């Protein structure tokens, strides 16, 4: 019937068929599906600490983009089964001394957004990190459920984590190479330097340090670093973690996808539509040159992460094991790529069409590949955990790529 067809179209994210069957259902319903059509659900939210101020926004389509529109200020947390209509919402959580936190919510028809993890029995408190313990370009993605994958989407629990706002730049990567040289790790630096089949991308100075100019070509400091394989990207993360005291690493693909999509299953960072003027994809510019990481401000996710639709692909930790994200027990099955495995990259580039720039598209790339289309960004877990990846500086030191 119309109810089944409407539900299926909505789960598949088919906006045209959803609207068509909703109109038919409303026209023929005699009250049986009134509650379903109204779709009112509820949200429960516990925080650590409690007593957090919450401002409620609703995502509305404005000029083809999903934009948060402020609705009201809510009582301090905890929230217990607070009624919310069907659709996509955002709670902005603030407390003095804590990092302002964006907590998106998706209310399925008549559903309760409860924050209970797989196998759990109670809502897990959403942690507001101390503002003094995060860096200015850290974006926080709180723990919770998200609609990941496509045709249909699946509910996946992703633990809380941080992601850097931008991909790693040439200037940041240059500092890594120069630090290796200063510490006598010249061979490691030479293995990790960006390079093509024609040779190194960066030049060398008389003291052994690296230069962004080589052979008449200058790699601008605010461009994303490219021509770096996965092992070298992981080595940079290891180095950055040692310098900062924070456990930086490459992201898992479910983390990357949640950072891009939020929780409502949107196709692109900015909604279910993308325009080439919003992100660095095919048709966005008249030239083929690389652009600074902050060149497209509309390519920003609900959590504040930039450049997830276009620019360069991002290396992920995951080994390629199938055509779709593997989920078991409500969580993504995480298996790190090692050795000669093919790994996964996420994102879009200035050469891909809109259909490939979705937040769900998975690029299969050999770990040893160095490409002008592939860069990387950093992530770290909110809670301490063992390093999931062994391809750090010691592997470069051993000469195994």
Q: What are the residue ranges spanned by the domains of the chain?
A: 1-38, 40-131, 134-401
pLDDT tens per residue, range 284-294: 876 667 899 99
Asked whether 54 and 95 are in contact (CB, 8 A), the reply is no
The helix-helix angle for 2-12 and 15-28 (nearest 10°) equals: 160
Average pLDDT over residues 181-201: 97
The Cα 277–Cα 151 span in angstroms is: 27
Tell me what the pLDDT averaged over the chain comes to.
92
**124 pLDDT above the threshold of 90:** yes
Domains 40-131 and 134-401 share a fold: no
Of the candidates 25, 11, 92, the one whose C-alpha atom is nearest the C-alpha of residue 58 is: 92
pLDDT tens per residue, range 135-178: 999 999 999 999 999 888 899 999 999 999 999 999 999 999 99
What is the percent of the chain where pLDDT is above 70? 92
Look at 93-97, 120-124, 256-260 and tell me which has the smallest mean pLDDT: 120-124
Q: What pLDDT score was predicted for residue 401?
A: 41
Q: What pLDDT score was predicted for residue 287?
A: 67
How much is the pTM?
0.92
Of the candidates 130, 137, 56, the one whose C-alpha atom is nearest the C-alpha of residue 95 is: 130
pLDDT tens per residue, range 296-349: 999 999 999 999 999 999 999 999 998 899 999 999 999 999 999 999 999 999
- Cα 187 to Cα 184, 204, 236, 248, 397, distances in angstroms: 8, 13, 15, 23, 7
Of the candidates 123, 125, 89, the one whose C-alpha atom is nearest the C-alpha of residue 108 is: 89
Q: What pLDDT score was predicted for residue 385?
A: 60
**CATH top-level class of 40-131:** mainly beta
Architecture of the domain made up of 134-401: Alpha-Beta Complex (3.90)
Average pLDDT over residues 34-59: 91
Q: What pLDDT score was predicted for residue 400?
A: 44
């Amino acid at each position: 019937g119309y109810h089944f067809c409407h539900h299926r179209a909505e789960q598949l994210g088919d906006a045209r068929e959803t609207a068509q069957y909703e109109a038919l259902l409303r026209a023929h319903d005699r009250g049986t599906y009134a509650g379903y059509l109204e779709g009112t659900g509820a949200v429960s939210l516990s925080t650590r600490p409690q007593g957090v101020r919450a401002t409620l926004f609703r995502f509305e389509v404005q000029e083809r983009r999903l934009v948060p529109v402020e609705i009201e200020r809510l009582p301090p947390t905890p929230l217990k089964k607070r009624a919310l209509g069907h659709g996509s919402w955002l709670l902005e959580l603030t407390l003095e001394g804590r990092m302002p936190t964006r907590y998106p919510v998706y209310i399925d028809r008549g559903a309760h957004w409860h924050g209970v993890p797989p196998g759990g029995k109670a809502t897990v408190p959403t942690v507001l990190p101390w503002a003094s313990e995060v860096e200015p370009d850290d974006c926080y993605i709180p723990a919770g459920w998200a609609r990941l994958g496509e045709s249909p989407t699946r509910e996946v629990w992703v633990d809380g984590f941080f992601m850097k706002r931008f991909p790693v730049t040439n200037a940041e990567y240059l500092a890594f190479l120069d630090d290796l040289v200063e510490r006598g790790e010249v061979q490691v630096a030479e293995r990790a330097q960006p390079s093509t089949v024609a040779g190194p991308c960066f030049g060398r100075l008389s003291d052994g340090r690296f230069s962004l100019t080589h052979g008449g070509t200058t790699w601008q400091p605010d461009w994303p670093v490219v021509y770096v394989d996965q092992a070298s990207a992981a080595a940079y993360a290891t180095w950055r973690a040692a310098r900062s005291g924070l456990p930086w690493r490459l992201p898992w693909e479910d983390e990357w996808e949640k950072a891009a999509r939020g929780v409502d299953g949107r196709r692109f960072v900015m909604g279910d539509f993308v325009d080439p003027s919003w992100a660095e994809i095919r048709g966005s510019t008249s030239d083929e040159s690389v652009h600074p990481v902050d060149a497209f401000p509309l390519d920003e996710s609900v959590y504040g992460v930039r450049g997830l639709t276009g620019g360069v692909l991002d290396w992920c930790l995951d080994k390629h094991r199938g055509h779709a994200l593997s989920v078991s027990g409500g969580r993504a099955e995480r298996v790190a790529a090692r050795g000669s495995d093919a790994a996964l990259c996420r994102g879009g580039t200035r050469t891909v069409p809109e259909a490939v720039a979705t937040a769900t598209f998975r690029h299969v790339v050999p770990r040893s590949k160095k490409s002008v289309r592939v860069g990387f960004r950093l992530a770290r877990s909110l809670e301490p955990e063992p390093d999931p990846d062994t391809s750090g500086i010691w592997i470069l030191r051993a000469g195994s790529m």
